[in-house]
Structure 1
Amino acid sequence: MTNIMIQGTTSSAGKSLMCTGLCKIFKEDGYKVYPFKSQNMSSKYYTTKEGYKISTAQTLQAMAAGLSPHPNMNPILLIPKSDKGSMVVIKGEDTEDMEAVEYFKYKNTLRPMILDIYKEIESKNDIVVIEGAGSPAEINLKQNDIVNMGMAEMADAPVLLVADIDRGGVFASLYGTVMLLEEHERKRIKGLIINKFRGDKTLLDPGIKMIEEILNIPVVGTIPFAHLELVDEDSLIDYDKECNINPQTEEEMERELNKLALLLRQNMDMDYIYKIMGLDLVNN
């Protein structure tokens, strides 16, 4: 039983996609893998055959892991209803509308439920792939955190931090995120991922060397920008996708998941990722 957590410097840095690709890779390598995000906010959600609501991101990750979507994958879903409030969905079921200030006070009571679900998941699987939300450096929200470093501590998970280079300022966002964390939180970050890179990587190499030296954390992946027809949540979207309008067939989705897994295998140090999880890479 082991785990890995993906956190991001911002929303839409690529956390969901990295988690989806890792779920697919671990499944291909013969492991029983399970996706988990303690809390997600999205106006788009999937309804299971039993009538439970979970986020579209964890639904896609479930498919990548070869599983049916289940509310344990996303025990808390916040469905925005206004600029200040959301419907709070607990274990797939609507509870009540709450304004942000009210939920901020309430969420700490959900910690035992999250931990119980996580322990159950961990006991039944080889690997749990955990997704964070937003950024762990949102210092106004860190108190009683249940989805970023707070979740990493509950699960005792190594963390990979992903940043989006396509919007610029990638090294500043990596440095700023790490340095705004507490020292014990920084120690959890075992690798950096630069996502959505375009161009000649040799031009990026000097910056990679410098950020590794400054933070003493290795860059374990530089992922090229790629058009993948995998459904997005309602955050920042890089390009129009047919799959966001028209549902895909299983064959179409499997093809895109295979492309994603290959992209990550070719551009991430999977040997290192297995090592920080305490596993050996399985060669099939």
Structure 2
Amino acid sequence: MKEQFNEALGNLIEKLQGWFNTTIEYIPNFILAILVMVAAFFAARYISKIVGKLVSKKIEQDSIKNAIARVSAVVVVALGLFIALGVMNLGKALTSLLAGAGVVGLAIGLALQGTLANTFAGLILSFRKKIRIGDWVETTGYSGEVMDINLKDFTLKESDNNIVVIPNKTILDNPLKNYSLTTKMRVFLECGVGYESDLEKVEQLTKEVIANTFDQVEKPEDVEFYYTEFGGSSINYLCRFWIDAESMLEKLKAKTKAIIEIKKAYDKEDINVPFPIRTLQFDNQLNIETPNNKGDFNKN
């Protein structure tokens, strides 16, 4: 019994000595690993600030700018962790960590597929030069001013002051019309005049009214005017001209102003803008027949 105890005690002392020697041997590596992690931490903070400043020159959205800065900091810290594990000769631990990270990343990717798709779509939209906050755009049946682009959704404010929130992935997968990319918009105006009207006079008068109403139209010849059809109660025309505008709201205001001024000019010149009229004409006399007691009809 005493011999077994002495043997066990000897094995324990031998183990402790081995651990002590290993600890002494790895103290420099351990200290170096700690220094690597501390350096990685401060480097991550510094790089995060630099990335944030660089990204702010390209992206206006604070949410996406902060997200990119944080991702860069995480990458630097992760790189420092891998270097520290390598310094401590923990190759197996490093391999296991990478394998575990891969499995966890795959599981998270499958579970958050839609969220990640919106996140990456938000990053792509933020770097697009043709879409900026304040632009007037039209997409997926909605039209309005771009209020925000974040990692989740795309926010529009319509002309009636309603807010529309659209997932980023939907914006990226569908056509988008940006009215703010150009400083000019074309106004389309359709109307009709009576058949008794002098068509040449109507054309000239309409062009002059548009040219006198809008400073962007220098002369009447810049206004496009086309008669389009013989309508049911009027001869219809299409009038087109350019204005300086970057939103649909400005375009609607210009169209409203044009209609008001054209109506005033037509009233002054006695030009009729007819509305549909239905005329019922009875050329034949109506016979009223009443049945008699025998079942036949008598004409009155």
Fold shared, TM-score > 0.5 on shorter chain: no
Please identify which structure carries the higher helix content: 2
- The answer to which structure, 1 or 2, has the higher relative contact order (CA under 8 A, 6+ apart) is 1
Larger of the two Rg values belongs to structure:
2
- State TM-score, norm by structure 2: 0.19
